[in-house]
Amino acid sequence: MASLLSVIVAIVGNIISILLFLSPVGTFKRVVKKKSIENFSGITYVCTLLSTSLWTFYGILKPGGFLVATVNGAGAFLQSIYIILYLIYAPKDTKVKYLKLVGALNIGCLGLVIALILFVVHGSHRLNILGLLCAGLTLAMYGSPLSAMRTVMKTKSVEYMSFLLSFFLSLNAAVWSAYAVLVKDYFIGVPNAIGLVLGLAQLALYLAYHKQSGSTSKSMLEDLEEEGSAHLVQGDLQMGESKLKEKKKDWTLSKGRSLPKTPVSVSRQHSLQMIVRAHSLNPCELQSKWSLEDSDLKNAHAVNTHH
């Protein structure tokens, strides 16, 4: 019964892990479309290739580790494709740098470990040494999002943290932790249990700062709206004063003869009253007010013309 349950859990773990391995597909579609790696870093894919290659070797050596080998073999294959695409579209200096890195880690280091395990180490020590190496690499990969967590706490924004990615990493760690308990494999269990704790911490951080990010955005939006309204009122006020001056000019020069000019003090008082009223009105009321003032001026102009 326990054996059947472990197989079912491992199959679920395979599905989730492969979905995670497929997550960079969108990134590389963009790379191929633009024929440029832009600012993307390829170090993650190089390290993941080393990790999945070693876990594949571990699954081959371990009795009953077939499902561990299959999922990591698929992961190693996908990482190889990502690295090839990265190298194709990388600039020359970046290409040389990553070719050296791939040669050192994925060929030199991996080849050395396999050779030592097969020809130098014997018996149960093989799985112990290989398991320790694999567990260390897995811990390093689960610890990589710590920088994103630090950024979230510093900026109080979840812009740089993906909720779905954090959720599926946590789910993946939980499934493989359960599998490790069922088959009593500490090399799989310990790093995935730590990964589960880190994943849950990321989710808690996301939920904590997601609300703050929303309230901050709302506050910024309100400030912008207030600033925009102030500019609108000021703009309408200036336009209204300009129209008033033009109407006064037409009024005083009607039909070639000057009419008595409005005293300066009255004009200033009238203008001051309009400014005071404008500051107490919203943009829509302000526009209606200017329309009424224009209408009054037109009527006055018509009366004086008939005189």
The two tokens of residue 262 are 């409005």
Where residue 19 falls among pLDDT bands split at 50, 70, 90? very high
Contact predicate 10/68, CB 8 Å: yes
- Angle (nearest 5°) at CA 81 between 195 and 68: 40
Residue 147 confidence (pLDDT)? 73
Model pLDDT for residues 142-192, shown as the tens digit of each residue: 777 777 788 888 888 877 677 888 888 899 999 999 999 999 999 999 999
Q: Is the pTM of this model over 0.85?
A: no
Model pLDDT for residues 196-250, shown as the tens digit of each residue: 999 899 899 888 888 665 554 444 444 444 444 444 344 444 544 455 455 555 5
Mean pLDDT for the chain overall: 77
Where residue 124 falls among pLDDT bands split at 50, 70, 90? confident
- Neighbour-count burial for 270-287, b at 16+ CB within 10 Å, e otherwise: eeeebeeebeebeeeebe
Contact predicate 79/52, CB 8 Å: yes
Is the pLDDT higher at 188 or at 297? Answer: 188
Rounded (10°) CA dihedral 209, 213, 214, 216: 130
Is the pLDDT higher at 260 or at 9? Answer: 9
Residue 14 confidence (pLDDT)? 96
Residues 6 or more apart from 45 whose CB is under 8 A from it?
24, 79, 82, 83, 86
Residue 99 confidence (pLDDT)? 96
pLDDT reading at 291 higher than 90? no
Residues 6 or more apart from 226 whose CB is under 8 A from it?
none
Which range, 35-39, 74-78, 119-123, is most confident?
Answer: 74-78
Q: Which single residue is written with the structure tokens 């009024």?
A: 251
Backbone φ and ψ of 24, nearest 5°: -80, 0
pLDDT reading at 129 higher than 60? yes
Closest CA to 49 of 162, 141, 177, 145: 141
Range name among 10-24, 77-91, 253-267 with the lowest pLDDT average:
253-267
Is the pLDDT higher at 174 or at 273? Answer: 174
Separation in Å, CA 47 to CA 27, 43, 144, 262: 17, 6, 11, 84
Residue 150 confidence (pLDDT)? 82
Domains in the chain: boundaries: 1-138, 220-306
Q: Please list the alpha-helical segments (H only) found in the chain.
A: 2-21, 25-34, 43-61, 66-89, 92-102, 110-119, 125-143, 146-155, 163-183, 186-252, 264-279, 283-306
Residue 110 confidence (pLDDT)? 95
Mean predicted confidence (pLDDT) in 108-126 = 93
Residue 52 C-alpha from the chain's centroid: 27
Q: Alpha-carbon distance 220 to 281, whole Å?
A: 24
Separation in Å, CA 201 to CA 130, 158, 258: 29, 13, 82
Kindly state the percentage of the chain with pLDDT values over 90. 47
Q: Which single residue is written with the structure tokens 């939006």?
A: 221
Q: Which single residue is written with the structure tokens 């070693």?
A: 54
The tally of CA atoms less than 13 A away on the side-chain side of residue 206 is 18
Q: Alpha-carbon distance 17 to 6, whole Å?
A: 16
Closest CA to 50 of 138, 131, 128: 138
Q: Alpha-carbon distance 257 to 11, whole Å?
A: 98
The three-state (H, E, C) secondary structure of 147-208, written as one string: HHHHHHHHHCCCCCCCHHHHHHHHHHHHHHHHHHHHHCCHHHHHHHHHHHHHHHHHHHHHHH
Residue 295 confidence (pLDDT)? 47
Where residue 282 falls among pLDDT bands split at 50, 70, 90? very low
Residue 156 confidence (pLDDT)? 82
